[in-house]
Amino acid sequence: MFQGYLTPHQKCSHCELNFETLNADDGPAYIAMGLVCLFVVPFFFIAQVLYEPPFWLALVISLPLTLGIILGLLPLVKGAFMGALWKSRT
């Protein structure tokens, strides 16, 4: 579906569906950030209460983990978002 990290092909290789009309804009980014905030932030609050890690350790663990989860989730969310856009038009 994607030719780069988030750049969709011009059309589907199977059914010739034109992907250029499915413009997702910033929607997938908002959804990915919302999902991460919903699940990751409470996890870190609980870890803070249970283990009380030093601030630098919490930063060293949480920043790359949060960034990695968002970047890993973004193509999946964009694909789902484009599918929802396509479904809402048909």
- Which chain residues interact with Zn ion by CB under 5 A? 12, 14-15, 17
| Of 17 and 71, CB closest to Zn ion | 17
Listed residue (84, 76, 73, 90) closest to 23, CA to CA: 84
| Of 67 and 76, CB closest to Zn ion | 76
Q: Find residue 2's DSSP bridge partners.
A: 8
| Of 20 and 52, CB closest to Zn ion | 20
State the nearest-atom distance from the C-beta of 60 to Zn ion, in Å.
43
Asked if 31 and 77 count as a contact pair (C-beta separation under 8 A), the reply is yes
